[in-house]
Structure 1
């Protein structure tokens, strides 16, 4: 385990959750780094949509590698959402993640949801995790179950069974997007690994989630969707000859500066 991967592991402190904002391109990642976030994830929806491709369809293998190359010089810890690993061959998944690690990536999200709406068999999902950990032992593997996301019957026992299987395979974290708020504390206690949940507008605050034992809170696609919403709002305002009534947009010069070597020292 190198210094960067050690630092990323250390940010996962149950009770003091890491807020992990999710970026989709260089500008969004550099801007978040400039705001002082020590670690940034990617959003699979944002990366896919920005490239004109569908999310969760195994279509962005190349886009993730290209983005990791563009972000490698930012002084921020990067974890990448690789969906299901873009293969059902554990060795191929491990080879792909090793490519990302060679670009400086310190973690991946590896999910068990499939494009057809089913869950990957737990044995296969665990085999992917084990293969990745064998290839890149220090990398933080955040094992995601879509038991709630896909609406499977009896999601709690399904999730807990998968937590045990993924933990045994070497997973470093357990991610449960869509889990009900009243089950978060139990999941944190029984997962056996740092628990990651998805931020939900109007849901529990970081402080409350910390008291429930959560170690990481991701924004998922929220920031990307919010950016699209703000752009549409501004465009509609201009077309209607009215003020956009948006928070102050970053200035041209500051956005331009995000591509400069010292970009993260500059704030809007």
Structure 2
């Protein structure tokens, strides 16, 4: 699929709502629902394989899922946590491998284990290595200050990291978490701003009016599916029925046929 088309989706008046999938069936269902672009969720990938998220242990599973989803008729961007390595060459190799599989974008975060942040210059080197190896790949540089609650006394540290990553060649900036002033972040970054959709927070339209160009669901869909699974099983066990209608067996077969 076209990397140009994916870049274009970040430069429209209407923000891109990017749902995040963790398996083929879910991604296929989202494509069938009309979503032109799909992302992956690192929590969904890790938890599905019995591994913790954010510890750099799911490179193999991430690549395998990307290869499985890439043939779908959509634009695919992949969450690669912190790049699964601190070596720029190894991160660039991963980016090339994903691009060769048909992936049009990657999301790389500066959060590290135990709630710490990577040094911004080190993170910028990883971003620059990706862009040097695969210039057309959309690199969404995630700034985890507000996600981890680090350096949040003002927006200055967040904007400084964003600007450094932009200078390294990033194509978009992702600032997850509850932001005190979304519009100020959007105005302070010269690249398309990506935020995380938060239940109870601003709607897609409201975020778009604040200058947001991409809205990710992150792990929300995965966690919603887990809760729905438990709710249905408990309802049946207790003599009731699942709380809502679901796709039929034939529906799912058609999705993957």
TM-score tier (shorter): over 0.9
SS in 1 for 2:159: helix
Name the CA shift for 1:232/1:72 in 2 (closer, same or farther; >3 Å).
Answer: same
Structure 1 position 244, deviation (Å):
2.2
Task: State the TM-score, normalized to the length of structure 2.
Answer: 0.97
Cα shift readout 1:53-73 (whole Å, capped 9, x = no counterpart): 110010110011111111121
Preserved contact between residue 15 and residue 214 of structure 1 (Cα < 8 Å): no
SS in 2 for 1:215: strand
Q: Using the alignment, how far apart are the partners of 1:201 and 1:155 within structure 2? A: 24
- Is 2:234 the partner of 1:257? no
Structure 1 position 155, deviation (Å):
5.5
Alignment of 1:24-39 (within 5 A): 24-39=22-37
- Is 2:10 the partner of 1:12? yes
Partner of residue 114, structure 1: 112
Name the CA shift for 1:155/1:70 in 2 (closer, same or farther; >3 Å).
Answer: farther
Alignment of 1:50-89 (within 5 A): 50-89=48-87
Task: State the TM-score, normalized to the length of structure 1.
Answer: 0.93
**CA-atom RMSD, angstroms?**
1.1
Q: Using the alignment, how far apart are the partners of 2:202 and 2:12 within structure 1? A: 16
Q: Using the alignment, how far apart are the partners of 2:161 and 2:32 within structure 1? A: 37
Partner of residue 135, structure 1: 133
Preserved contact between residue 84 and residue 113 of structure 1 (Cα < 8 Å): yes
SS in 2 for 1:142: strand
- Is 2:158 the partner of 1:156? no
Moved over 6 A (4+): none
Name which structure has the greater RCO, CA cutoff 8 Å, separation 6+: 1
* Count of aligned residue pairs for this structure pair: 256
- Is 2:168 the partner of 1:169? yes
Q: Using the alignment, how far apart are the partners of 2:154 and 2:241 within structure 1? A: 46
Preserved contact between residue 85 and residue 93 of structure 1 (Cα < 8 Å): yes
Cα shift readout 1:145-183 (whole Å, capped 9, x = no counterpart): 110111113352111100110010000000000142x41
